[in-house]
Chains A and B, each alone.
Chain A
Amino acid sequence: MVYFLQEYFFNCFTRSASIILLSLSLLLPQLSNAAIPQKHEDFPQGVSAINPGSELWREVRQRDSAVTGISQVKGVETGVLINSRGGQWARFRIENPVKYAPMVLGVVFLVLVLFYVLRGKVGIEGGLSGQMVKRFTEYECIVHWTLAIVFLFLAVTGLILLVGRPLLIPLFGKEIFSLIASASKEGHNLFGPIFLVSLLMMLFSFVKRNIYEKGDLAWLLKGGGFIGDGHVSGGFFNMGEKTWYWIVILIGLVISISGLVLVSPNFGQGRLVMEISHLVHVFGAIILTAISIGHMYMGSIGTEGSLEGMKSGYVDINWVEAHHDRWAKECHENEMVISAEEYARLQGSKPDTAMEKEA
């Protein structure tokens, strides 16, 4: 990757002199004919000579020579006759993200399956009590699910664009894949900015409670409960959740901005910026998708009682004690705990059904 980027910058900055590419291309057929090595009966092995055609092509492709093309056409990089870096970029894409993305996501998935089989759902000591505490407002739940829906749509369509060729063509054939790819591209481009908007809504509505504080380090040292006796201290959000939040915000912003650079090529950005944006976009998306699989697992089947918080905005007080003891204290002090009956009334259902569902 570093070598690749070095190459990029090197190529860009060494092009300082100018030659008219058009005249070169007109000369090309004659010169390249002369460049074909001719075998002669007196020299059965052939004659070793520098191929003038290769020199010419090097100039045309503006590889490592100091050449800049000139064109009547006004626009970004219109003087580039053949973009050699494009080939490098395409190869890098196929040899790296296209190859490794399915592996990374597959490994994360398998690890979670294994984890679930070995450890099962992370339960709550003493089970659920049925007494609930308000954790998220309606707006916060809506913002979370909007972000999640839009993200998942982008993840699926993005992966189709990235690895659809090798994975889907064998399944559906070229014609159907071309439809899926075209639909995915349009869908991906249209939903990208919606992701940025929902990300900003998430940023503003959750930021206050995600600032790191003193007790968070202890959570990290205990590996989030996986090291030691298993009981870790946490505030409203624990260290793991806060870190997830900042990963979503920061990588999400990087993906969004690089995506905007890609989706609007008419703002004067050249190929280099586009190619780098593309790689940043792809790597950011793969990392975020991989971690989001872990988050989705932890937020649903992985942890007893978590999902209720994002569904109804309320969580069981025993869940709070188990995962957020410092916030639990606040809940008791401020008399925020409501009975199962009150919760059922607020949700418009009978208390026992709410409890049964959780169990």
Chain B
Amino acid sequence: MIEYLIDGPLWYFALVVFCIGVLWQLASIVFARSKTDLSVARGSATGGAWRNVFSRFVPHHEIAPQIRIQVVAGYLFHLGLFALLFFAAPHVLFLEENLLGFGWTPMPHWAFIVSAQFAFLGLIMLWLRRVVNPVSRLISTLDDHVAAILTFVVMLTGCFALLEGSTALRLLHRFTVEIWLIYFPFSTLMHTFTFLPSRAFTGAWFGRRGIDA
């Protein structure tokens, strides 16, 4: 019964909530009315947008020393998670069989494990930094903590199911993934989709005003 629920209706429900929720959020940003900028353009908005999208991958040299932990742990976590999400053999197979109908060459098992280790280390350090640093602690909302802990739990149940020998452990992982998918559109996890548009938006604004930042 539980197996049927997790592999069937709950999975489709989570997918629908995730897709509609993400599209809804993105649409609400795209269609949000912003005031028309009446100032005379001093530079190219498009150029500014592109510049900002890429320049923000590297921290500004003036603040780099203060945020070194976030930068290193942030890259460890995000690259590790990206690699294991889209290139681990069980995930590639899952995407092929359940969603896409096609697959690609997965990474070797050892690379999967190393990616997971990077992701775990990065996430633990990022969350600790959030609670240890007084400013981060102050500006963190409940959502930030729930998003981090939920992601950690999904990764942990995935790690528990690594042997791929038990239906119960696989179901546990899939169940946490479903909860995560349902939570995603209503949380800061949305930054997965919004970080590039938001950089572009700020960059365009800067570019038009001739701000070099």
Contact = CB atoms under 8 A, between A and B. Distances in A.
Contacts of B69: 138-139, 142
A186 B163 CA distance: 7
A346 interface: yes
Contact of B160 (A138, A139, A186, A347): A186
A190 B116 contact: yes
A265 interface: no
Given A183-B160, A190-B116, A141 B132 contact: yes
Given A194-B120, A348-B138, A186 B132 contact: no
B117 A313 contact: no
Interface residues of A, number: 27
Q: Which of A141, A178, A183, A347 has the most CB of B within 10 A?
A: A183
B125 A146 contact: yes
Nearest to B68: A139
B175 to A, nearest CB: 14
Interface string A178-192: 110011011100110
B134 interface: yes
Interface stretch (B8-16, B43-51, B98-106, B164-172): B164-172
B89 interface: no
B26 interface: no
A347 B120 contact: no
B129 A194 contact: no
Given A150-B124, A183-B160, A190-B116, A138 B137 contact: no
A193 B129 CA distance: 21
Given A142-B69, A182-B169, A187 B159 contact: yes
Given A182-B163, A190-B162, A348 B134 contact: yes
Contacts of B159: 186-187, 190
B79 interface: no
A146 B134 contact: no
A355 interface: no
A52 to B, nearest CB: 43
B117 A146 contact: no
B163 A191 contact: no
B169 A348 contact: no
Interface of A: 138-139, 141-142, 145-146, 149-150, 178-179, 182-183, 185-187, 190-191, 193-194, 197-198, 311-313, 346-348
6 closest pairs, A vs B, by CB? Answer: A183-B160, A186-B162, A348-B138, A142-B128, A141-B132, A347-B134
11 contacts: A138-B129, A138-B133, A145-B128, A145-B132, A149-B124, A179-B166, A182-B160, A183-B160, A186-B160, A190-B113, A194-B120
